[in-house]
Amino acid sequence: MPLSEHEQRMLEQIEQALYAEDPKFAHAVRSTNPQIHYKRRVVKAAFGFVLGVGVLMTGLVLNAGTVTIAVSVTGFLLMVASCVWALTSWKRMAGIGNEPAAPRAGRPPRQKAGFMERMEERWRRRSEEG
């Protein structure tokens, strides 16, 4: 939803006041692109995944009993955590999931009924049918 003219003017005034008060901070904030931040996180997560694969393989090569299992599980958990971190960063970078869900056309939004309400409704339908 676009800003109204009044809101745009207010935003410009706030921006000018920020530049007047602290130009170095305002320039740093303006020049920073959030997508670059998320791209860095994806790259770091990829390195974490590769490190997790290395730790997992090290655990498989070792012949030390329970230490082998602990090292392998640690590597696997590092891989999973890296994948989750990369996917959440990728979604934020792409802007997926930030917009609210659009209501379906032709249907009013439905309230979620509780468990007991659904059971009572089913009971009423069965008693009316039979």
The proportion of the chain whose per-residue pLDDT surpasses 70, expressed as a percent, equals 84
Rounded Cα–Cα distance for residues 33 and 93 (Å): 10
- 38 Rama class: left (phi>0) / alpha (psi -120 to 50) / beta: alpha
The residue with greater pLDDT, 1 or 95, is: 95
Residue 52: pLDDT band by 50, 70, 90 thresholds?
Answer: very high
Region of poorest pLDDT, from 15-19, 45-49, 86-90:
15-19
pLDDT in tens, 7-46: 888 888 888 888 888 888 777 776 667 778 788 899 999 9
Rounded Cα–Cα distance for residues 88 and 36 (Å): 14
- Number of Cβ within 10 Å of residue 56's Cβ equals 19
Domain spans of the chain? 34-95
As given in the structure block, the two tokens for residue 37 are: 């931040």
What residue type is assigned to position 124 of the chain? R
The residue with greater pLDDT, 110 or 13, is: 13
Residue 102: pLDDT band by 50, 70, 90 thresholds?
Answer: low
**Helices within 2-130 (DSSP H only):** 5-21, 23-31, 34-61, 66-94, 115-129
Q: What is the pLDDT of residue 31?
A: 66
As given in the structure block, the two tokens for residue 102 are: 């659009």
Mean per-residue pLDDT, 64-72: 86
Rounded Cα–Cα distance for residues 68 and 63 (Å): 7
Residue 104 has pLDDT above 90, yes or no: no
